[in-house]
Amino acid sequence: MLIVSPKDWELPESAATPERDYALQSRRAFLKTTGLGLAGVALGGHGLLDSRLLAATRGFPPVGNPDYRDPALKPTPYDLITSYNNFFEFGTDKSAPKLNAQKWKTEPWTVTISGLVRNPLKIEVNDLIARMGGFEQRVYRMRCVAAWSMVIPWDGFPLAKLVALADPQPGAKFVKMTTANVPKTISGQWENALEWPYVEGLRIDEAANELSFIATGIYGQPIPNQNGAPLRLVTPWKCGFKGVKSIVKFEFVANQPRNTWNVMSAREYGFYANVNPNVDHPRWSQGSERVIGAGGALGARQKTLLFNGYEKQVAALYAGMDLKKQY
């Protein structure tokens, strides 16, 4: 079975009880923006979705797993997370996605699950979130291949749940994820920066790893367009470019799919893209990173950790592999 049930870092029920008025108020706003009102009613029987929504609207509740409670993990301010972006469909400057993606309509949004699965599906994103049991919040490190990093409190659901829903056939070995075709009027002069649509992929065992996450929110707010609305991949032990944004298709396939940055420059960007301070990028060191929002405009330098600090959770996935060759 591929199901990995999230345990330790599910929000404690107690996170939803204090400041009741504020919580109820922001929940109403949240239900309105996400269209989850009906789903909340449908799942109200066991109260799970309800309490997670309450908690998720209240900013930054405590995270149960000691791994995600590291006092050294200081969440990056919301404004930086949502204004310093890579989303090349909207321009190559860090500030461009926020400016250029505002008018893009990301609701309603249909997600397709297809390929070598027993349960192919075309589903509205809000129905999908409801099928996944609602939200949980996780604080993850995020590290771009270009040696900058942030700490981001994501809301969303484990990708393992989507894999379980799809019910892959034995021949399926990889999940390929595709970004929506961004309308040309929006992408404008940036059309040729990369090959579109942006695609990424994971081995199925990577996708089912407990850490792999589909984010639908940041700091308890619906994820903004520039960060990949309405749903994007988060694999915190890998470089940021694996985190494909605004996904319209999850396709289960037999062979390793193309991934956009690897297509751009195979010797610089691999398929695995695991964060690894011991394997430098051909043009720069991967031994350290700039922490965005810490210590001045460029960010304080800190050492980069193997698998971005998630060795315990993911090292077994790569046992016996030469990480210098399979970068």
- State the residues that interact with Mo ion by CB under 5 A: 86, 144, 240-241
- Count the Cβ atoms, other than its own, within 10 Å of residue 108: 10
- Count the Cβ atoms, other than its own, within 10 Å of residue 76: 22
Exposed / middle / buried, residue 94 (Cβ in 10 Å: 0-12, 13-18, 19+): middle
Residues 65-124 that bind ligand MTE (CB under 6 A): 85-89
Q: Whose structure tokens read 């700039």?
A: 290
Smallest gap from Cβ 185 to ligand MTE, in A, equals: 17
Local structure of residue 290 (DSSP, 8 states): E
> How far is it, in rounded angstroms, from Cα 16 to Cα 153?
17
Task: Output the residue with the shortest Cβ distance to ligand MTE.
Answer: 240
Residues 151-180 that bind ligand MTE (CB under 6 A): 179
Residues 228-257 that bind ligand MTE (CB under 6 A): 228, 240-241, 243-245
Smallest gap from Cβ 174 to ligand MTE, in A, equals: 18
Smallest gap from Cβ 104 to Mo ion, in A, equals: 20
198 lies in the site for ligand MTE, by CB under 6 A: yes
- Look at the chain and count its residues: 327
Tell me if 112 sits within 8 A of 249, measured CB to CB: yes
Smallest gap from Cβ 28 to ligand MTE, in A, equals: 27
- Tell me the three state secondary structure of residue 240: helix
What residues does 291 pair with on adjacent strands?
149, 300
* 54 binding partner (options Mo ion, ligand MTE, none; Cβ < 5 to 8 Å by kind): none
Total residues contacting ligand MTE by CB under 6 A comes to 15
Residues in contact with ligand MTE by CB under 6 A are 85-89, 144, 179, 198, 227-228, 240-241, 243-245
